[in-house]
Structure 1
Amino acid sequence: MSAVSDFLTAPWEHVFMQRAFLVAAMSGIICGVIGSHVVLRGMAFIGDAVAHSAFPGVAVAFVFQWNLTLGGAVAGLITALLVAVFSQNRRLKEDSVIGVFFAAAFGLGIVILSTAPGYSGSLESFLFGQILGISDGDVATVAVAGALLLLVTLVLNKELVAVGLDRETARAAGLPTFALDIALYAMVTIAIVISIQAVGNILVLALLITPAACARLLTDRLGVMMILGPIIGGGASITGLYLSFSLNVAAGGMIVLVVTAFFLICWCVAPRHGLIARFRTAALRRAAGAATGVPSEGTSDPITVA
């Protein structure tokens, strides 16, 4: 028992770990909520694009000695706005537009940084996370930005779900789909920027997408999904921090490995949509088809708005 007690209490003896736990939990919860809308719309690529499009903003901020997080947020928001505008041309699919600006933004960041010698070490925390080095001010920033983000999500939830499920019907019903696109892209950008400190620019997509993907496997009800997503994200973040402290390994990478382990478990044992459940259902259908002489048919997995 003493070993378990030490494992649970030892990290809390350090102030930097207390800050890390707060930011990790908040980042996991925020990304779990926002990620539910991202997974619902099948737009995981936008998370990767926004995360990498923050790069030129960080590069400019580095060159001029400005705040790196603020620079990344501005660049991410600009890219998100451009994607929303250009995606209104339905001749091009959203992922094509995202791919164009994703590559362009990252290329711009490389060009800008090439003019500033000796930049690599200074940007290591941005690329790979620096959750153990955050300050009280960083904790307050994440808390305030996260609270506002969750409030906006609550206010716009029904409209975002309507657009995510059937865009054309939502437009016909009079919903401002373009404004809602911009709002969602901006929300994704802010969620990513405030989570970069936890896992870094390269790994932040996992925190945004994987908890929501786990929840999608566990339930067909959107309301339940948006509760399970942040629970999984926050729980995985805290567990990853505990393990990183105990094993003395990188915190960001361990958080991502833990949330990925959650996904693999859900993939196998989810009650209706897991691998085991699907094998069992398929076997029952084959048995029923053999008994009745009627071939079995697969079923779709619709999501229920509730």
Structure 2
Amino acid sequence: MDWLAAPFEVTFVQRALWGGILVSLICALAGTWVVLRGMAFLGDAMAHGMLPGVAVASLLGGNLLVGAAVSAAAMALGVAAVARAARLSQDTGIGLLFVGMLSLGVIIVSRSQSFAVDLTGFLFGDVLAVRPADLTHLAIALVLALAVSVVGYRPFFALAFDERKAHTLGLRPRLAHIALLSLLTLAIVASFQVVGTLLVFGLLIAPPAAALPWARRIPLIMAGAACFGVSATFLGLLLSWHAGTAAGATIAGVAVLQFLLSTTAAGLRNRRGRLTVPSPAADQRLEYGHSS
């Protein structure tokens, strides 16, 4: 079993594993609400819409996390403003701002001499370069994400399934939506510098979507998403070590593969259930044949 344990005897791989675990837990909390609320496109747009802030912070020698947070907040506010002012659908506003912010970021980054390196690092990160300070930041972000999820559980739940009912119950859906966007922003901003926007979005969407067919309650979906995310991190690092592939992209690929396997297995389970459980019409036919 040396092939299984050998990679994780190296210090930087151990830190990468812990970093991936923390990111998986944060993304399980935020990603479950994103999947249930149907906000996957917004999550992708916000992840890539951080590029202008990151680029400006990098060129000015500032803090990348601050630049990312400012850009993500501007993206979230811009989506709401465009949709309300122009009477466009939310998807249209997201798409327009997504393209605009990403284009602006590429333009800014292209002015620097390290264009390719900076953009590659933004998209894919470097999970194998996780530092102890990064683990501390991720641990703090996890505590904050857990607090927001616990405090906002009831309004988030109502908002995910029936916004009008949330308003009727006095749960202030607009405020809940802002809090949900804040949770999403926290997950993306806290994680992108370590693992890049590709892996953040992969762990934000794929594990909750993989857990969704197997759980009925939201806490169980979050727990399942955490398990899928952690296993994707472990298997991704293991495959990356032995195959010599990019660690972040391999983890994201494993997460998507888990989703495909999970949905396939759930589909086979449902099909088998439909074949083994007689339909009402079949029950009537059997009953009629017995009485005759």
Question: Do both proteins adopt the same fold according to a TM-score greater than 0.5, normalized to the shorter chain?
Answer: yes
8 Å contact kept, 1:43–1:95: no
CA distance in 2, matches of 1:154, 1:88: 30
Contact map agreement 1:52 1:201 (CA 8 A) in 2: yes
> Is contact 1:88-1:178 (8 Å) kept?
no
Inter-partner Cα distance in structure 2 for 1:45 and 1:122: 24
- 1:70 has 2:62 as partner: no
For 1:39-188, list aligned pairs within 5 A.
39-87=35-83, 91-188=87-184
Change (3 A) 1:146 1:85: farther
Q: 1:223 to 1:121 in 2, by over 3 A?
A: closer
Task: Report Cα offsets for 1:184-212 as digits up to 9, x if no partner.
Answer: 11211221222324542234321100100
- In 2, the alpha carbon distance for the partners of 1:8 and 1:280 equals 35
Pairs within 5 Å for 1:210-289: 210-269=206-265, 274-284=266-276, 289=281
Residue-by-residue CA offset, 1:117-148 (whole Å, 9 max, x unaligned): 33221332221120111221111111112211
TM-score between both structures, scaled by the size of structure 1: 0.85
Q: Using the alignment, how far apart are the partners of 1:71 and 1:293 within structure 2?
A: 68
> Shift of the alpha carbon at 1:55?
0.7
**Whole-Å separation in 2 of the counterparts to 1:10 and 1:93:** 51
Q: Structure 2: how far apart are the matches of 1:21 and 1:175?
A: 39
Counterpart for residue 284 of structure 2: 292
Moved more, 221-230 or 29-38: 221-230
Greater fraction helix: 2
1:301 aligns with: none
The 1:62/1:171 distance shift into structure 2, 3 A limit, reads: same
User: Does 1:205 pair with 2:201?
Assistant: yes
Residue 286 of structure 1 deviates from its aligned partner by 7.4
TM-score of the superposition, structure 2-length normalised? 0.89
Q: CA deviation at 1:163?
A: 1.0
- For 1:10, the aligned partner's letter is A
Contact 2:122-2:197 within 8 A present in 1 as well: yes
Amino-acid identity (%): 36
Q: Which runs of 5+ in 1 are unaligned?
A: 295-306
Output the CA distance in 1 between the equivalents of 2:217 and 2:84.
Answer: 29
Q: 1:13: how far off? A: 2.5
Is contact 2:35–2:208 with CA below 8 Å preserved after alignment? yes
Following superposition of structure 1 onto structure 2, how do residues 23-42 of structure 1 map, counting pairs within 5 Å?
23-42=19-38
* CA deviation string 1:42-64 (max 9, x = no partner): 11111101111101111111221
C-alpha separation in 2, matches of 1:130 and 1:117: 20
How many residues get paired?
A: 286
Aligned mates of 1:177, 1:87 — CA distance in 2? 17
- Check whether the contact 2:7–2:238 (CA below 8 A) recurs between aligned residues: yes
